[in-house]
Amino acid sequence: MSSWKYFTVLIAAVLVFNSCMNRTNISDTNLFSTSSDALNAGKHTYGSYVAGRVAHLRKDFNSAADFYIQTLKKDPQNKELLTNVYLILTSQGRISEAAVYAQQAVDAGDKNNFAYIIIAANQFKLKQYAEVRKTLSKTDGKIYEEFINPLISAWSFVGEGNKKKALAALDVIKKESSLRALYLFHAGMINEYFNDNDAALNDYEIIVKEEKLEMSFRALQVICNFYIQTGHKDKAVALINKYTDNKSLADMMKRLRQNVMAANPQNTKKMITGANIGLSEAFFNIAATLRLGVSGTDLAHMFISLALFENPDYDLARLLLADVLETREMFAEANEQYDMIDKNSEAYYTAQLHKANNLVALNDYQAAELLMKSLTLDSDNAQLYLDLGDVLRINGNQKEAIKYYSEAIKNLDKIQNSHWVLFYARGISYEQDQQWDAAEKDFLKALILSQNHYMVLNYLGYSWLKQGKNPEQAFGLIVDAYNQAPQDGNIADSLGWAFYRLGKYSQAVQYLEKASELEASNAVISDHLGDAYWMAGRKNEARFQWQHALTLEDEMQELDIDAVKAKLQTGEVFNTPLPYDETEIQEKIDLIMTDD
C-alpha cells in the first residue's frame, strides 16, 4: 500500500439562506476568462497583454489587471479585454477602478448585466442613490428584477431617508416563499435603522419563531444585538442558547454566546449604522445564495468583493471571500483575508483554524503546527486536535500526534460513526510508532464506525500482511477495499502486493501494473511492480521499474532507497510466500470485481 495524503475536514464557516433562485443566468460572460481572443491589435500591445495573461493564468489577478490596463491604453476599443479588466478589478476589491472600465464597456455595447451592478455599487458609495436606481433599471432578467435589484434599491432609499419606499422596494422579494427569511431580515434591519423598534421586533421574531425559516449566523448576530440594545438581553440569551448544538459553527457560536452573556445594554450599539452597511448585507446574501448555483464560485467572488467594498469591517464576508479563494486553491490569498479579521471578532478563531489548514495546503507544516498549538490554548475543538495530529503525523512526530488525536477523542460528546477518521488517524500513528497492539485496536474500532470504509480495510489488511498475520483475513479485507475503490491506485497496489506476498506473481503483476497506470508518479508502487516482475521472471522490466522508482519524488519517504539500490546491484529479491488456506483465498479471489 503506497502512502495517501490524509484529508483534512474543514469547518463550514457561514450558514446561508437557502434559495431556489437559479432561474436565470446572471452573466453573459465567463468570469475570469483567459481567452486568447481578447487581443486583436498590433505588436505594440502584445508584451503587456501576454504578461497579463501569464499573471491571469497564475491567478495573480492584481498584476493581470494592471497589465491589461496598460494594454487598454493602446487598444481602448477591445471589448473583451474591457470585460476582463472590470471583472478582475472587482474580484480584487478595486471597485472604483472597475466602475470606470465597466462604464467604458457599457458605452462600447457590453450587454453584461453585472457591469451595471459594479457601476451602481460605486454610485452607492458616492451616495448617488437616485443614480443607483437609474443604473439598475438597465439590467434585465428575473434574477435581477426579483432578487438583486430590489435589495440594492431598498437600501438606496434608506440612504435617502425614505423608509416607506425602502420597504416597498422589498415587496417583490416577499412574494418568493423561499426568500421569506431574507425579506424579513432586511425589513427588520431597515425598521431598526429608522428606530421603528416595534416593527423591527415583529420582523425579527417571525424568523425566530417560525421553525421552517432558516436562521443564518449573521441574522443571529443582528437579532441578538437588537435584543440587547433594546433592553431584552434575556431574549438574546434564550435565542443563542437555542442554537448551541450547531456543530458546524461551534466555535463561532461559543464566542457569540460569551459576548451575549457579557454584553452591557447601555454600551451596545446598532450593527446597521448606515445604508452602506445594509447594502453590504445585501451583497453578502446575494453572494451566499448565488454560490449554490452554476458558476457559483465566480459570482460569489464578485458579490462578496462588493460587500467588502461597502463595509470593509464585515468579518463574515471576509470568511466567505477566503472560502472562495480556497476553492480556487489560492491559499496564501485566503490567509491574507483571515489575517484582516480582528482578534475580538466572533469569527477570529474560525478564521485562524482555516488559516492553519491553508498553511498545511501550502506545505508549511511548521507554521501550521505552531498556529494550531496556539489555538489549542483556547479551545477544546475536536477538529482542531485532529488537524494538529495530522500535521504532526505528516512531520513524523507520531508520539505527539497520538497525544492530540487522543485529546480529540476525549473531547467528543459522543462517539458517532463519523468519528471513525479519528481512530483511523491515531491507528496510523500507532502503527508507524511500532505500537501495533494499540494500532490494531484503533483500526478495528474505525472499521466498525466507518461501516467498512475501504481506506480502513486497506490499511488494516496491508498491515497484517506486512507482519505475516491473518493472511486469509488480510487478503479478504484488501479485496473488499478494492471492490469499493477499484480505480484508486493505492488500493490496486495493495491488492497486487497481497498477491505477491502469497506467491501469486502473475496476478500480482496484473494489479501492480494497473496501480502504476493509476499512480504513475508513485515511487513505492514502481518498487513493488519491479519486485513482482523479478519474481515473475521479467528481469529487465524489474530493473527499469526500480530505476524509475529512484527518480520519483517520495514525499512521505516510504521508499527504502538503499534496498532498491541493492536490488539493482545484486539482482537479488527474496519473497517467502505466506502460508495460507488455498480454499479461503480462492473464495476471496472469486469476489474480486472485474474492470469490465
User: Does the CA dihedral 191-192-197-198 come out positive or negative?
Assistant: positive
- Spatial separation of the C-alpha atoms in residues 591 and 596, rounded to whole Å: 14
Mean pLDDT (whole number) for 564-590:
93
pLDDT at residue 29, rounded to an integer: 40
Mean pLDDT (whole number) for 523-531:
96
Out of 238, 267, 296, a domain closes at 267
Please answer whether residues 425 and 449 qualify as being in contact, where contact means their C-beta atoms are separated by less than 8 angstroms: no
- Spatial separation of the C-alpha atoms in residues 473 and 465, rounded to whole Å: 9
Q: Among 223, 227, 257, which Cα is nearest to 241's?
A: 257
Identify whether 415 is part of a domain. no
Least confident segment among 118-122, 189-193, 239-243: 239-243
Whether 287 shows a pLDDT value over 50: the answer reads yes
Domain coverage including residue 213? 36-267
CB-based contacts of 259, cutoff 8 Å, min separation 6: 346
Question: Which residue is it, cell 440569551?
Answer: 237
pLDDT band at 245 (very low <50, low <70, confident <90, very high): low
Question: Which residue is it, cell 495524503?
Answer: 5
Out of 267, 285, 306, a domain closes at 267
pLDDT at residue 20, rounded to an integer: 27
Q: What is the pLDDT of residues 75-104, one digit of tens each?
A: 888 888 899 999 999 999 999 999 999 999
Identify whether 120 is part of a domain. yes
Identify whether 193 is part of a domain. yes
Give the domain CATH number at 467. Answer: 1.25.40.10
The CA distances from residue 488 to 361, 376, 518, 588, 594, in Å, are 22, 35, 7, 19, 14
Total number of residues shown for the chain: 596
pLDDT band at 149 (very low <50, low <70, confident <90, very high): very high
Percent of the chain scored above 70 by pLDDT? 91
pLDDT band at 382 (very low <50, low <70, confident <90, very high): confident
Mean pLDDT (whole number) for 550-564:
87
Whether 229 shows a pLDDT value over 50: the answer reads yes
Whether 505 shows a pLDDT value over 90: the answer reads yes
- Spatial separation of the C-alpha atoms in residues 482 and 565, rounded to whole Å: 31
- Spatial separation of the C-alpha atoms in residues 299 and 176, rounded to whole Å: 21
Question: Which residue is it, cell 491507528?
Answer: 427
Please answer whether residues 55 and 38 qualify as being in contact, where contact means their C-beta atoms are separated by less than 8 angstroms: no
Classify residue 237 as exposed, middle or buried by CB count within 10 Å of its CB (0-12, 13-18, 19+).
middle
Out of 267, 283, 310, a domain closes at 267
C-alpha cell at 484: 469499493
Q: What is the pLDDT of residues 196-224, one digit of tens each?
A: 999 999 999 999 999 788 889 999 999 99
Q: Does residue 10 or residue 301 have the better pLDDT?
A: 301
- Spatial separation of the C-alpha atoms in residues 407 and 387, rounded to whole Å: 12
Whether 47 shows a pLDDT value over 90: the answer reads no
Identify whether 303 is part of a domain. no
Identify whether 343 is part of a domain. no
Identify whether 95 is part of a domain. yes
C-alpha cell at 539: 528481469
Question: Which residue is it, cell 505466506?
Answer: 578
Phi/psi for 522 (5° steps) reads -95, 115
454-459, long-range: CB < 8 A, 24+ apart: 454/480, 454/481, 454/482, 454/484, 454/485, 454/488, 454/491, 455/4, 455/424, 455/481, 456/420, 456/424, 457/481, 457/484, 458/1, 458/490, 458/491, 458/494, 459/1, 459/424, 459/427, 459/428, 459/431
Q: Does residue 495 or residue 412 have the better pLDDT?
A: 495
Alpha-carbon torsion, ordered 91, 93, 97, 99, to 10 deg: 70
- Spatial separation of the C-alpha atoms in residues 206 and 302, rounded to whole Å: 31
Identify the H or E element spanning 12: none
CA 68 distance to own-chain centroid: 30
C-alpha cell at 562: 538503499
Q: Among 274, 278, 128, 314, which Cα is nearest to 119's?
A: 128
Identify whether 498 is part of a domain. yes
Q: Among 471, 474, 470, 415, which Cα is nearest to 448's?
A: 415
Per the structure, the count of domains in the chain is 2
- Spatial separation of the C-alpha atoms in residues 306 and 293, rounded to whole Å: 19
Average predicted confidence (pLDDT) for the chain: 89
User: Residue 543: how many CB atoms within 10 A of its CB?
Assistant: 16
pLDDT band at 73 (very low <50, low <70, confident <90, very high): confident
Mean pLDDT (whole number) for 52-60:
86
pLDDT band at 45 (very low <50, low <70, confident <90, very high): low
CA 432 distance to own-chain centroid: 29
Identify whether 247 is part of a domain. yes
User: Residue 540: how many CB atoms within 10 A of its CB?
Assistant: 9
Give alpha helix (H) positions in 137-274: 142-143, 149-159, 163-169, 171-174, 180-193, 197-209, 217-229, 233-242, 250-262
- Spatial separation of the C-alpha atoms in residues 487 and 518, rounded to whole Å: 7
Q: Which amino acid is at 11?
A: I
pLDDT band at 44 (very low <50, low <70, confident <90, very high): low
User: Residue 504: how many CB atoms within 10 A of its CB?
Assistant: 18
